Amino acid sequence: MKRYNKNHFILIVLFLFFFIFEIYLWVATKGMPAMLENGETYCAYIIGRNFEKWGIINLRFLEDYAMSSSKEAHPYHFTHNPDFNIFFAYIIQKTGIKSVSALTFIMIFVLGIGLFYMYLTVKEYTKNNIAGLWVLITTVFSYAAVLVFGFNASRAWPWLLIFAPLYHLKRYASEGAKR
């Protein structure tokens, strides 16, 4: 049986803090992001809604921020830097989840999983659990302040989409070399 040490305890406490803080913000704002001026999750929700309503092919996979329900409001598309999160918002809405607060709640967990992979990646590359914990401590306490501004759907994905492949590449490439 694996023995747990104080590092495991610290890891659990960090993630409990992170999820309690994020869910508190989610409840305090009634699931609506953008407590101040930033609303990345809401923008992703609007674009995903337009993809679902007007057709992702019809909109040429490009961002459409128009909030009107009339066809005339959707002739132009925003072509600057389409983000992965808009496609995720579209997929979520296609599954029947139509609420921006539900999208916000899901993004809290996407970010949490990304942060866990960040910890695992640093630990795997440095072969030092303490280094992974310090990076996680720094990130949880500094990045949480950024999240107050809008539960950042755009910023949650890089943590997961960068660190998960890096971790698995290092972990399973080194295991393959041992065999």
**Whether residue 122 has pLDDT greater than 70:** yes
pLDDT digits over 109-118, tens only? Answer: 888 899 899 9
More reliable by pLDDT, 139 or 169: 169
Q: Which two tokens stand for residue 137?
A: 């401590």
**Whether residue 1 has pLDDT greater than 50:** no
Residues 22/108, Cβ–Cβ less than 8 Å: yes
pTM of the model: 0.72
pLDDT digits over 47-105, tens only? Answer: 888 888 888 777 777 777 777 777 766 666 555 555 677 778 888 888 888 888 888 78
Report the percent of the chain where pLDDT is more than 90: 15
Which string of DSSP letters, residue by residue, matches the chain?
-PPP-HHHHHHHHHHHHHHHHHHHHHHHTTT---SSS--HHHHHHHHHHHHHHH-TTTTTT-B-----SSGGG-S--B-S---HHHHHHHHHHHTT---HHHHHHHHHHHHHHHHHHHHHHHHHHHT-HHHHHHHHHHHHHHHHHHHTTT--HHHHHHHHHHHHHHHHHHHHHHHHHH-
User: Residue 41: phi, psi to the nearest 5?
Assistant: -65, -40
Query: What CA–CA distance (Å, rounded) separates 165 from 179?
Result: 21
More reliable by pLDDT, 174 or 103: 103
Q: What is the pLDDT of residue 25?
A: 79
Residues 135/118, Cβ–Cβ less than 8 Å: yes
- Residue 2 carries which DSSP code? P
Lowest mean pLDDT among 58-67, 98-107, 143-152, 170-179: 143-152
Q: What is the pLDDT of residue 148?
A: 57
Residues 88/157, Cβ–Cβ less than 8 Å: yes
Which of 154, 160, 149, 86 is CA-nearest to residue 120?
A: 160
Q: What is the pLDDT of residue 168?
A: 92
In the block, residue with structure tokens 């999820």: 19
Q: What is the pLDDT of residue 177?
A: 62
| CB atoms near residue 147 (< 10 Å) | 22
Q: What is the pLDDT of residue 49?
A: 82
Which of 109, 131, 107 is CA-nearest to residue 121?
A: 131
